[in-house]
Structure 1
Amino acid sequence: MPARKEVLQQKSNPTSQTMAAHALQQRATAQTKDQTSRMTQIIPAILTKNADRARSQLTEIAKHGNKVHLDIMDGNFVPNKTFTPATVPKLRTKVQKIIHAMCYHPEWYVKEWRGCKVLFHAEACPNLAETARALRKTGKRPGIVLSPESPVRLIEPALRYVDEVLVMTVHPGFMGQKFLARPLRKVPRIKQLKKSIKVSVDGGVHHDTAHLIAKVGADIVYVGSELWKGAYGVNLENLKKCLK
């Protein structure tokens, strides 16, 4: 009888090994899918005063993606100006517009920004929750932006009203600035406060800084000048490789 039992066990081993191998393969596939889903997404940014230039850039963006980050500045919150909020609906495109509102009272422009996602600065609004609720009238859930020196605690009361926090790694207002690594510490902290939140990074992103952003777990990176130096499509693909 012991010999017969040993034979039966030997016969069952191949099946057990096959099942174990299949389970391992499934786990590996799930991990690969999870890593792919967590790969940092690149969204191009446009910062210009010239509406015609913005239209030209939108045409190029539409060939490679479906979202764009539009920097809107009024010259008051930051010392720079772009095209006005009223220009946004005139920029006809199938690309989803994400407005980075570097201005005071972003809720004043709900009509002009209807259908757009709006990211507003915590430093520009005295009542974040109230501003967030007002901006939901655009039809999209808004996001909050934190400038480099602003602490995470500033936005904690309003996290329930937004689905994204943008961490600035340059001082807002101009493209092409030097990357500031210290604000990246905020990314994991924000994710601890709200697991479902998307955390994005904007400012000074290029081939030498992209891996730092991916390492801290940022979901989205907004990129401007690095993509517009030369061939947009080539620059986009090269930057994607740095984020893997």
Structure 2
Amino acid sequence: MNRIRIPLAVTLIVVLVLAAILAPWIAPYAPDETDLANRLQSPSTTHWLGTDHLGRDLLSRLIWGARASLAAVAAILALVLTIGCAVGITAGLVGGWVDAFLMRVCEGFMTVPTLVLALFMIGALGTGLVNVVVAITLSHWAYYARLVRATTISLRNIDYVVAARLAGLTRFGVMRRHVMPILAGQLAVLASLDLGHWMLHVAGLSFLGLGLAPPAPEWGIMINDARPFFRVAPMLILLPGAAILLTVLAFNLLGDALRDRFDPAMATPPS
């Protein structure tokens, strides 16, 4: 199965990333360029996927929407890994009251459902894509910290780690040489499975008007804007919805393949 899943997932992700990076050059129109004379047009040689209710080119907005969505997910990934690894490794290596205090903080964040916590943080911080990224980060970092701590504790008393400490290697050196290489595989699996989850969060919060504000090109905003025109032009909702679906599918396929690669006990039995 990995022979199919990994190439398919990587191909989809590479296409999306290239579209996001090259959006200024490959998008046929500016994403906010309106043309009311050509509103709600069907696909044509001028507008390959048609136009929306303001005459904006739908293909261009989908391409620019990939940039907004993937940038938000990439920022969430970087922040979650940074905070989760820092807290988890500190708790696992130091132990004692530091470990107890950090884990109580993690448990406090984990007791509230992630979407509810994200909505609360946005209510406190305000709307906007930056605040959406911060809110989703704060609602997910604790899970990574717990994983990193558990792995660090399991490695802390292994012979080669103890020998490295006795040889004078600092805690940072132990982390860099002996902990992070083992953590990398576990974090790659967890992060790849969560990327699609975060993508849905970003799109859902933007759909609710809590993320980017119109007329910004973002897939959740595009779906929200198209609701009144669903009967007239259903593709206005179906196309950004398909973009979200394919992106989440690509991340989930990659996560499943990595899980099977790094954790054979969880591998899917051959059909």
TM-score under structure 1 length normalisation: 0.28
TM-score under structure 2 length normalisation: 0.26
Which structure has more relative contact order (CA 8 Å, sep 6+)? It is 2
Larger Rg: 1
